[in-house]
């Protein structure tokens, strides 16, 4: 067998490319993409059979298995009625350009290997930094998701605290402490576990907001050991904003790194009516926002920004003999700013979409989502059998159905998915079962949401 067959430009390769592009085109431009649903492993095993064989199935058969069996067993997270967790709703331009990124053999870890891609990604990062009020010298990198972004930022925070204490001739604490809200995203606690640091989980108010007075108590108690404070700009479960301005003001009295976890919510700053809600973000030492959420990029894409990128570089640059040609230079290499070395230029689809449609289109989409959220929240509040758990701040609406137990929510949710109407799964808060709409997709309509509410009988 020809060893170069899989890589050669040949009639066989042309047929494979044509088949894959045809499927991709049909999928991206379809107006009736199904929500789809998972299948049991046993059923998939029965339907799919063995696909990895010595001689191969051939592209047409393999693509057919994917299109007709495997893909329908995956939920379409960009469906307008995918309303659980945090949806994904990439623009057509972003989806299309994701194909280009893969087809071009681009590597985005260093300036040497990907200068053009890195330049484009950095333009997007500079745009985001300006939106969030960070200085022109801010910078960072696109990583896989908020978990990797938070971990990378907090590792830089601890390294910076260590350098500061050593430079001042002070002893390092026996255990480092990370201060965050009890309602902070689980990825921050996961990062602390990986870093082997203690989490000081500060109670939020009854409204879910972490406030400065509670953070002050933690900083006073733990002193130099408290190397960072995480403020949330839009919690996953409720879309709650912490008192970022009040927490940021504590930097005038205490030495700590302020990290803003805005993976879901920071995008709302693009809407003019929402900018004031995020006062204090401009004082962050680092922040994350996930474009694969509300900035309409494909999975997987998180923007990690540092106020002073040098703090990230000192914490993360990897040194090895074969890397000397990259590290012994002043050129910007994205891999120096997070825990990863190998990386694809995952910010390029967002760059292409922003360059294609313009920022105003994004601002309008975010504003319309906020408007729809308030409209459906008012509808829920007006229905006597329903109750808002909290008034929405961003675009997550959490509500209860009077008299329902977990089994009722499960039955209702299963029926919605079985009939392909929507994905709306049960959630909970303070020991009470509820459900929620996470609204991000510009194609989601008020009529869609009202129709789902009508099924809660």
Over residues 299-315, the mean pLDDT reads 95
Q: Given this model, what pLDDT does residue 182 score?
A: 84
How far does CA 419 lie from the centroid of its chain? 29
Q: Which CATH architecture has domain 359-454?
A: Alpha-Beta Complex (3.90)
Backbone angles phi, psi at 333, to 5 degrees: -115, 115
The CATH topology of domain 99-357 is 3.40.640
Say yes or no to pLDDT of 326 above 80. no
From CA 330, how far away is CA 262, in angstroms rounded? 30
From CA 289, how far away is CA 278, in angstroms rounded? 13
- How big is the CA angle at 125 (ends 154 and 104), to the nearest 5 degrees? 110
Over residues 78-90, the mean pLDDT reads 95
Read off the tokens for 121: 């990604």
Read off the tokens for 99: 């194909």
Read off the tokens for 224: 């130099």
Name the more confident of 160 and 327. Answer: 160
Percentage above 90 pLDDT, the chain? 90
Over residues 412-437, the mean pLDDT reads 96
Over residues 328-352, the mean pLDDT reads 89
Q: pLDDT tens for residues 226-242?
A: 999 999 999 988 999 99
Read off the tokens for 21: 């592009």
In this structure, are residues 423 and 416 in contact, taking their beta carbons and an 8 Å threshold? yes
Say yes or no to pLDDT of 319 above 80. no
From CA 243, how far away is CA 277, in angstroms rounded? 9
Q: Given this model, what pLDDT does residue 294 score?
A: 96
Closest CA to 184 of 216, 215, 157, 156: 215
Say yes or no to pLDDT of 41 above 70. yes
Say yes or no to pLDDT of 172 above 70. yes
From CA 347, how far away is CA 354, in angstroms rounded? 11
From CA 378, how far away is CA 399, in angstroms rounded? 11
Q: Please report, to the nearest 10 degrees, the dihedral formed by the alpha carbons of residues 366, 294, 316, 134 taken in order.
A: 10
Other C-beta atoms lying within 10 Å of the C-beta of residue 12: 13
SS3 330: coil
**Residue 234 CB partners (closer than 8 Å, separation 6+):** 240, 241, 262, 263, 264, 265, 266, 268, 393, 394
| Exposure of 153 in the CB half-sphere (CA atoms within 13 A) | 38
Phi-psi region of 450 (alpha: psi -120 to 50; beta: other; left: phi over 0): alpha
Over residues 408-432, the mean pLDDT reads 96
Q: Given this model, what pLDDT does residue 236 score?
A: 85
Say yes or no to pLDDT of 91 above 80. yes
Read off the tokens for 276: 């004031």
In this structure, are residues 412 and 455 in contact, taking their beta carbons and an 8 Å threshold? yes
Closest CA to 235 of 133, 365, 146: 146
Read off the tokens for 96: 């299309």
Over residues 361-379, the mean pLDDT reads 98
The DSSP bridge pattern shows strands 386-388 and 302-306 to be unpaired
From CA 240, how far away is CA 205, in angstroms rounded? 11
Say yes or no to pLDDT of 454 above 60. yes
Q: pLDDT tens for residues 196-237?
A: 999 999 999 989 999 999 999 999 999 999 999 999 999 988
Q: Is 378 exposed, middle or buried (0-12, 13-18, 19+ CB in 10 A)?
A: exposed
Helices (H), 30-110: 41-48, 59-65, 92-103
Over residues 232-254, the mean pLDDT reads 95
In this structure, are residues 116 and 105 in contact, taking their beta carbons and an 8 Å threshold? no
- Spatial strand order of the sheet with 386-388 comes to 386-388, 396-401, 432-438, 426-429
Tell me what percent of the chain is helix, strand and coil, each rounded to the nearest 5: 50, 15, 40
Q: Is 382 exposed, middle or buried (0-12, 13-18, 19+ CB in 10 A)?
A: exposed
Q: pLDDT tens for residues 140-166?
A: 999 999 999 999 999 999 999 999 999
From CA 278, how far away is CA 272, in angstroms rounded? 11
DSSP state of 268: G
- Say how many residues make up the chain: 457
Q: Given this model, what pLDDT does residue 331 score?
A: 79
Say yes or no to pLDDT of 2 above 90. no
Say yes or no to pLDDT of 321 above 80. no
Domain ranges for the chain: 11-30+38-74, 99-357, 359-454
Q: Given this model, what pLDDT does residue 378 score?
A: 98
Q: Given this model, what pLDDT does residue 323 score?
A: 57
Distances (CA, A) of 405 to 389, 400, 412, 417, 431: 15, 10, 11, 19, 12
From CA 192, how far away is CA 155, in angstroms rounded? 9
The two domains 99-357 and 359-454 share their CATH topology (first three levels equal) = no
Say yes or no to pLDDT of 328 above 70. no
Which position has the token pair 């975010």?
A: 366
In this structure, are residues 69 and 25 in contact, taking their beta carbons and an 8 Å threshold? no
From CA 455, how far away is CA 435, in angstroms rounded? 13
Long-range CB contacts for residues 412-415, cutoff 8 Å, separation at least 24: 412/455, 412/456, 415/455
Task: Please state, rounded to an integer, the average pLDDT across all residues of the chain.
Answer: 94
């Amino acid at each position: 067998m020809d060893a170069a067959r899989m890589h050669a430009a040949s009639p066989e390769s042309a047929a494979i490319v044509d088949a894959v592009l045809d499927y991709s085109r049909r999928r991206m431009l379809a107006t009736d993409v199904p929500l789809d649903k998972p299948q049991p492993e046993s059923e998939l095993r029965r339907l799919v059979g063995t696909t990895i064989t010595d001689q191969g199935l051939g592209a047409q058969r393999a693509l057919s298995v994917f299109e007709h069996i495997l893909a329908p067993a995956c939920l379409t997270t960009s469906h307008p009625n995918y309303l659980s967790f945090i949806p994904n709703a990439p623009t057509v331009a972003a989806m299309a350009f994701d194909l280009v990124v893969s087809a071009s053999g681009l590597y985005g870890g260093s300036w040497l290997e990907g200068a053009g891609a890195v330049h484009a990604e950095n333009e997007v990062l500079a745009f985001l930094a300006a939106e969030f009020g960070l200085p022109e010298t801010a910078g960072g990198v696109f990583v896989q998701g908020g978990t990797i972004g938070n971990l990378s930022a907090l590792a830089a925070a601890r390294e910076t605290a260590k350098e500061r204490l050593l430079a001042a001739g002070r002893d390092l604490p026996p255990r480092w402490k990370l201060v965050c809200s009890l309602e902070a995203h689980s990825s921050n606690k996961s990062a602390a576990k990986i870093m082997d640091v203690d989490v000081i989980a500060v109670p939020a108010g009854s409204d879910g907001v972490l406030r400065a007075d509670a953070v002050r108590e933690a900083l006073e108690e733990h002193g130099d050991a408290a190397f960072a404070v995480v403020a949330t700009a839009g919690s996953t479960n409720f879309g709650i904003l912490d008192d970022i301005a009040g927490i940021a003001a504590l930097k005038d009295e205490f030495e700590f790194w302020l990290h803003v976890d805005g993976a879901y919510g920071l995008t709302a700053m693009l809407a003019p009516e929402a900018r004031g809600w995020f006062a204090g973000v401009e004082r962050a030492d680092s922040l994350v926002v996930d474009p694969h959420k509300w900035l309409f990029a494909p999975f997987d894409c998180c923007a990690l920004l540092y106020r002073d990128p040098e703090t990230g570089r000192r914490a993360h640059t990897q040194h090895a003999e074969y890397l000397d040609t990259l590290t012994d230079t002043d050129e910007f290499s994205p891999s120096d700013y997070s825990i990863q070395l190998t990386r694809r230029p995952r910010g390029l689809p967002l760059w292409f979409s922003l360059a294609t449609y313009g920022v105003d289109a994004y601002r309008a989409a975010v504003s319309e989502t906020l408007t729809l959220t308030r409209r459906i929240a008012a509808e829920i509040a007006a229905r006597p059998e329903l109750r808002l758990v909290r008034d929405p701040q961003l675009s997550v609406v959490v509500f209860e159905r009077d008299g329902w137990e977990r089994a009722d929510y499960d039955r209702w949710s299963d029926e919605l998915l079985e009939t392909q109407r929507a994905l709306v799964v049960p959630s909970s808060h303070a020991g009470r079962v509820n459900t929620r709409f996470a609204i991000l997709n510009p194609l989601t309509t008020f009529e869609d949401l009202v129709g789902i509410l009508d099924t809660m009988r």
